[in-house]
Amino acid sequence: MATPIDPRPEPGPPDTSARTRVVLAEVVRSGTRAERTRAELTQQTQVGDALVRGLVRAQLALALRLSLVVGIGLGGLPLLFAIAPEVGTAKLFGVNLPWLLLGVGAFPFLVAVGWAYVHLAERNEQDFTDVIQRPER
């Protein structure tokens, strides 16, 4: 790599300027490594494919985990009201619990889950980007 840049026609013994060139070459090589990982992605090599599969799996697992939270938290309510009628008759602030849970509580709950998802999904993507752009460090 260093030889074509070397202006001298004959290779001589290494000196300090040669060391400087090596450092420059290191920077260029680290750039090409990131480039290479990107190429692995776009050209669908085995490595690139495995990376994408990992990202998709992480994002899907996150989405499924959070939908499980909603599925139990909200989806379990009709069953709960059906098998434990005393929950339906319980009162909070003079209002029956199902009215409070469904009429008011459900909405902040959904927004909170959505906020957590956006936060965690962006972190997954950041991790993925870091792997691509700073490999082997």
Partner 1 sequence: MDNPYTVPAIIAVTLVTVAIGFYGLTLARTTSDFLVASRMVSPTWNAAAIGGEYLSAASFLGIAGLILKYGVDVLWYPVGFAAGYLALLLFVAAPLRRSGAFTLPDFCEVRLGSRRLRKLATAFVIFIGWLYLVPQLQGAGLTLATVTGAPYPLGALLVGAVVTANVALGGMRAVTFVQAFQYWLKLTALAVPAIFLALQWQADSRPAVTPVGGPVFSTATTVVVEEPATLTLPDGTSREVRPGDELSFAAGEQVPEISSVAADNGLDWLLPSMAGSDDRGLFATYSLILATFLGTMGLPHVLVRFYTNPDGAAARRTTLVVLALVGAFYLLPTLYGVLGRIYTPQLLLTGQTDAVVVLLPGAALGNGPTGQLLAALVSAGAFAAFLSTSSGLLTSVAGVVSTDLLGQGSVRDFRLATVLAGLIPMVLALNVSGLDVSQVVGLAFAVAASSFCPLLVLGIWWRGLTDAGAAAGILAGGGAAVGAVLFTVLGPELTGWPAVLIAQPAAWTVPLAFTVMVTTSWATRRRTPADVGAIMLRLHAPEALRL
Residues that bind partner 1 (CB under 8 A): 38, 41-42, 44, 48-49, 52-53, 55-56, 59-60, 63, 66-67, 70, 74-75, 78-79, 81-83, 85, 88-89, 96, 98-99, 102-104, 106-108, 110-111, 113-115, 117-118, 121-122, 125-126, 128-129, 132-133
**Contact yes or no for 63/118 (Cβ under 8 A):** no
Nearer to partner 1, 1 or 50 (CB): 50
Report the amino acid identity of residue 119: H
Nearer to partner 1, 18 or 41 (CB): 41
Nearer to partner 1, 21 or 128 (CB): 128
Q: What is the dihedral of CA 122, 132, 64, 74, to 10 degrees?
A: -10
Nearer to partner 1, 8 or 119 (CB): 119
In degrees, to the nearest 5, what angle opens at C-alpha 53 toward C-alphas 48 and 55?
A: 100
Q: Which helix (H) or strand (E) holds 23?
A: helix 16-42
